[in-house]
Structure 1
Amino acid sequence: MSWQGHLVGTGNVDKAAIFNNEGTSVWATSAGFTVKPEEMKEVVAAYNDKSDVKQVQSSGLHIAGEKFVVLKADDRSVYGKKGREGVVIVKTTQAILVAHYPESVQPGAAANTVEQLADYLIKVGY
């Protein structure tokens, strides 16, 4: 099954993109979901530098032109919310998954969907 089937096809995520671990190359993206290079720099910095994790938790994170309050940030996952919508970002061995969920989806359902795809990608070497 394609990455779209694993993420967008579940109904728990409405837009998503997959980047390389450096955040410099887009491997795949949903139509109309544009994560800017400077936004990915914020994401990658949060993973690479522990002080940036604290920074992103206090200042928030920008994805596709929107600012999200960061609820969780660790070595693997970053979760953000803006009102009732949010983002789930998960790092695998070779990739960073960036997924957006709409107001109609429970945050836990979106997080489980993205985390499960990340687990699968790690298992197959990505």
Structure 2
Amino acid sequence: MSWQTYVDQQLMGSGLVAKAVIAGHDGTCWAKSNNIEPTRDELSKLSQSFQDQNNLAMTGVHMGGEKFFYLSGTDKVIRCKKGKSGMHCMKTLQAILIAVFEEPIQHPQVASVVEALGDYLISMTY
């Protein structure tokens, strides 16, 4: 499967995700939905933020020109919110999965989709 297929079928195809991106740890965009334009700088900063999330409460997370407020995270997951939308990000061995969702969809619903794909990619050494 191509990276675009993962975005189209696994993330967007779930019906829960409004915008999606798969990127490398270096900030290169591997695949994305048509309605988001992440910059390499945004993707690189997000990738680096998994190691140390202390500043995210003050700076937020920027993606596709939008600022999301940091809610919580682990070394594998970052959760954010902006108004009635949210963002769930997961870091795998080589990639970052980013899913933006809108009300009435809630974080736990999107988390299950993103993390299932992330766990699968980790099992495939991605």
Cα offset for 1:70?
A: 0.6
Q: In the TM superposition, what are the counterparts of 1:1-126 in structure 2 within 5 Å?
A: 2-3=5-6, 4-23=8-27, 25-48=28-51, 50=52, 53-126=53-126
SS in 1 for 2:23: strand
Q: What is the CA–CA distance in structure 2 between the aligned matches of 1:83 and 1:108, rounded to whole Å?
A: 17
Q: What is the CA–CA distance in structure 1 between the aligned matches of 2:107 and 2:74, rounded to whole Å?
A: 17
- TM-score, with normalisation over the residues of structure 1? 0.89
In structure 2, runs of 5+ residues without a counterpart are none
Percent identity over paired residues = 35
- TM-score, with normalisation over the residues of structure 2? 0.89
In structure 1, runs of 5+ residues without a counterpart are none
What one-letter code is carried by the residue in structure 2 that aligns with 1:30? Answer: S
SS in 1 for 2:22: strand
Conserved 8 A contact 1:57-1:73: no
Q: What is the aligned residue count?
A: 122
Q: Which runs of 4+ in 1 moved over 4 A?
A: none
Conserved 8 A contact 2:92-2:121: yes
Higher relative contact order, chain-length normalized (CA < 8 Å, sep 6+)? 1
Conserved 8 A contact 2:25-2:44: no
Cα offset for 1:59?
A: 2.3
Q: Report the more deviating stretch, 85-94 or 1-10.
A: 1-10
What one-letter code is carried by the residue in structure 2 that aligns with 1:33? Answer: I
SS in 1 for 2:54: helix
Cα RMSD, aligned residues only? 1.4
Cα offset for 1:96?
A: 0.5
What one-letter code is carried by the residue in structure 2 that aligns with 1:120? Answer: Y
Q: What is the CA–CA distance in structure 1 between the aligned matches of 2:57 and 2:26, rounded to whole Å?
A: 20
